[in-house]
Amino acid sequence: MPGPFDELEKEAETLEKQSKEEFNKKSFVLAISLLVEAKEIYSKLGYQGKINMIDKRIAQLKNLVKFEKQNTVVKTKGEIKFQKRVDKVLHEKDRSQRYKLAEQKTLPPEVRQKLERINLLHEKAVKEEKLGQYPRVLGRYEFLLELYKSIPKEIMNFTKEIYETENKIESIREKI
């Protein structure tokens, strides 16, 4: 007949299992808290070997959390400025390529207007995103997507831009 100690031991083992599941989901903080609960139960039972083992696992997880935080540390100001310059240059390069392509193909006026609108909307969306105006940015990117899709593929292929814009819309929806 199982006693109260057996129930406590099962509960602690269940907590350890849940901790492993959370670890696999990369929820390290939750895994640590589950191990702390299991440790408390083992200390009530006097299982010193299990307590030592859990302490080691908690220490490993804490080190892992610390390592994860170091990898996501904010970039230095120099890196941020450099990245902004790179983004600006790439954007200008992309923009100039579109204009050159538009001039080479002698596009109909309607398509040229759409291209100009696309460039203007994209610039505004990038600026507003930096300001954190996500609902407005979402609307701009949705309109951009419509414009890209409205240009026939025979004239210009915007498959890459459509894909990137759809991804951008999803990421902005997550921020709202």
Q: How far from 37 is each of 19, 26, 30, 55, 58, CA to CA, in Å?
A: 10, 19, 11, 12, 11
pLDDT tens digits, 57-112:
999 988 888 877 766 555 566 677 777 888 888 888 777 777 766 665 577 888 88
pLDDT band at 135 (very low <50, low <70, confident <90, very high): very high
Mean pLDDT across 137-144 = 93
What percentage of residues in the chain have a pLDDT greater than 90?
36
- 28 half-sphere exposure, CB direction, 13 A CA radius: 13
Residue 139 pLDDT exceeds 80: yes
pTM for the model stands at 0.43
pLDDT band at 37 (very low <50, low <70, confident <90, very high): very high
